[in-house]
Structure 1
Amino acid sequence: MNSGNPAPDGLPEDSAVHEGAAGARVDDLDQRLAAAVERMGHVTRTMLLRQAYAEGVSPLQHQLLLRVRALDGRARGSDLATELDVSQATASEALSALRRKELVEKVQDPADRRNVVYSLTASGEELSERLTQWDGPLTARLGEVPEADKATTLRVLLGLVADLHGEGVVSVARTCLTCVFFADGSAGTGLPYRCDLLQVDFDDAHLRVDCAEHQPRSAAS
């Protein structure tokens, strides 16, 4: 527990630092990094919530509209629930509300005519375009950060996402680091990574967070 006494580095103790399970030592910097990520999560949730209510939708409906937009005709209800880590009943209720608002519609799945997928209506397209701007204040600040720092941060965060996905904490992660096509860069290019699907070498700054061509490593067979 934080006693208010100076930490070993001479600075005041950080209230984000606490003992691990059964009193096990957890690195102070690791805890402060985790706390900083949580704080940024609060910031992003707040921005998303404010824009959602300004547009007359709930935060979950906001996220569903953006996912339906991103999946572009491949948005099945079960997949949307999995991606947002909510129950199918919760996702179905929110999608029904969006249908009543005439923002999404059910259409026959072109890949399997026994199923249906969700797509945006014209009004839904217009709204989802506005909703993509929810992170404007954050991206404006990031524009002032050096490119090298942003690239390193992107790699570290996506590495954490990949690890947590491997442990089952994150259900869906369509990132380069979880993709079957992700490989080491070609010799002589000086670039660390390669996309075997597109035959392109690239660096940290070009890692994808949500790639439309992603195939999970488990599908390699």
Structure 2
Amino acid sequence: MDGDEDTTVDVGADGPATDDDGLPQDTATDQSGADDLDQRLSGALERIGHVTRTMLSRQAYAEGVSALQLQLLLRLGSVAAGPRVSDLALELDVSQATVSDAMSTLRRKGLVAKEQDPGDRRNSVFSLTPEGDLLRTRLARWDRPLADKLVALSDADKGEVLRVVLGLVAGLQTDGVINVARTCMTCRFFDDTSHPDGPEPYRCNLLEVAFADTQLRVDCQEHQAPLTA
């Protein structure tokens, strides 16, 4: 029909490009044939990372703060002792100047309080004000769309995914790619050798309890880095 757009897809004389398994090629890989599955897994994780960054930024914008300020508020609400600027910069992988600027803005908004570090009078520590804690509670829901999707998974599947992801995080910290990871697998008290084949293959030597994949901690307040030789 005259005027209609041509929606035919040109797949070439030999049909669409396929991999050795007969499936269409995945543009997330470089098609070199090396570590194709690894590349696709990395690509899938990158997509999840993009989604989480987008959700975090949207929630921050809706509450009138930046994405970094949101992360700082969440961090201040999850630690027992007030952190210093240097601690926060290390965890978020940004400069101390960037954290200082963000903290100054949060203080002007009445969301964060600054006090002298009782352990080192040369430094300051930060904590949430009551208004900041209320905002942190609202901001903590930034991941709701993703959490809603996870509800459909079984506990066993969620535990397995958690174990795999935290294992990757631990490896990246060991390699120096990330600075801070307060997970079970990076903690001096974590023991995965006592009952490796049992239903609770791990043990926390601090609390003296056994636990399973579903109980692995992502950000434990009792975390302590392994002792160095």
Deviation at 1:164, TM superposition (A): 0.5
Aligned to 1:107: 115
Aligned length: 214
| Aligned: 1:28 with 2:40 | no
CA contact (8 A) 1:106 1:117 kept: yes
Return 5+ residue gaps in structure 1 as ranges: none
- Greater alpha carbon shift after TM alignment, 8-17 vs 109-118: 109-118
Aligned to 2:220: 211
Distance 1:110 1:199 in 2: 31
| Aligned: 1:15 with 2:27 | yes
What secondary structure is seen at the aligned counterpart in 1 of 2:22? Answer: coil
| Aligned: 1:175 with 2:183 | yes
Aligned residue among 17, 40, 56 for 1:5: 17
Distance 1:112 1:167 in 2: 31
Normalised by the length of structure 2, the TM-score is: 0.88
Return 5+ residue gaps in structure 2 as ranges: 1-11
Distance 1:72 1:120 in 2: 12
CA contact (8 A) 1:185 1:191 kept: no
What secondary structure is seen at the aligned counterpart in 1 of 2:210? Answer: strand
Aligned to 2:86: 78
Distance 1:191 1:185 in 2: 11
Deviation at 1:103, TM superposition (A): 0.6
Distance 2:151 2:47 in 1: 20
CA contact (8 A) 2:80 2:221 kept: no
Deviation at 1:51, TM superposition (A): 0.4
When Rg is computed on C-alpha atoms for both structures, the one with the higher figure is 2
Percent of residue pairs identical = 58
Distance 1:99 1:176 in 2: 33
Opposite residue 15 of structure 1, the aligned amino acid is: T
- Whichever structure has more helix as a proportion of its residues is 1
